[in-house]
Amino acid sequence: MKIEKHHIAAFPRTASFLFSVGQFFAFCFRFVFNVFVPPYEFAEVKKHMDELGVKTLPIVSVTGFIIGIVLAMQSQPIMARFGAESFLPAMVSLSVVRELGPVITALIFAGRVSSGIGAELGSMRVTEQIDAMEVSAIDPFRYLVVTRVTACALILPMLTVYVVFLAIIGGWLAMILTQSMSLQLYIVSVVEAVRFADLVPGIAKTFFFGFLVGIVGAYKGYNADKGTEGVGKASTTSVVLSSLLILITDTVLVKITLWIWP
């Protein structure tokens, strides 16, 4: 078989991509090994949870209300066309609990947090602060990476529960404008529709999303180079890669959860 020049030129890119994938998985395995080995930096984890959670609350609060309001207002005419307006609270609550709440919260969290971690660790790398920690006999990976990734994995499920609650309230506000539905009837409809098997998968997968947001940002920042240009690149690619991995992981987890909880 004849090999064209552009085929040969593509080989180095493929090799570089595979090498990057291998480095990323090695970085993930290093985190898994270090997270269970003492000493544990509980104070640092708590500090990062406070920073990441509190600073993300305003944007996710607005997002939660908008998800519920828009979903209810857009779905109401369609449900009315089929005479199924009574099922609107169930449709809104199930959509938010199972899919929209976890995924949209994770994507916003990725844009807000992953870029920040990438830029922060990237700045520390190019200014040789990480190298200085290594010289001082301090493990920078445990202190800088493990604490941030753990905080992301723990705080995102809490934010997701908060967003789901606000989205359901937003759906009720939309129904007041369209159907004048009472709060009591709305709550009863939501409680009857949402089962425990609907709530658990949606919240559980956000642990994986939080891990991806933290580990991607930490990986890009920890391995940044080329000065300030590398910091900007680490920040940008962290958001893009973590968002892509969230969507891919969600596709896999949806299939798994439907198989376990049909």
Q: What's the chain's length in residues? A: 262
| Tally of CB atoms within 10 A around 236 | 14
Give CA angle at 42 (40, 46), nearest 5°: 150
Q: Which domain holds residue 20?
A: 1-37
Rounded Cα distance, 61 and 186, in Å: 21
Pair 69, 177 in one domain: yes
Rounded Cα distance, 194 and 202, in Å: 12
Pair 141, 22 in one domain: no
Rounded Cα distance, 186 and 36, in Å: 44
Pair 230, 158 in one domain: yes
Rounded Cα distance, 11 and 151, in Å: 39
Using one digit for the tens of pLDDT, what is the confidence trace for 207-253?
999 999 999 988 888 887 766 777 878 888 888 899 999 999 999 98
Residues near 81 by beta carbon (within 8 Å), at least 6 away in sequence: none
Average pLDDT score over residue span 138-149: 85
Using one digit for the tens of pLDDT, what is the confidence trace for 166-197?
999 988 888 887 777 777 888 888 888 888 87
Rounded Cα distance, 251 and 153, in Å: 19
Pair 32, 135 in one domain: no
- Cβ burial of 14 (10 Å; 0-12, 13-18, 19+) is exposed
pTM of the model: 0.86
Pair 253, 129 in one domain: yes
Pair 188, 216 in one domain: yes
Give the number of domains in the chain.
Answer: 2
- The amino acid sitting at 243 is S
Residue with tokens 């979903």, as numbered in its chain: 71
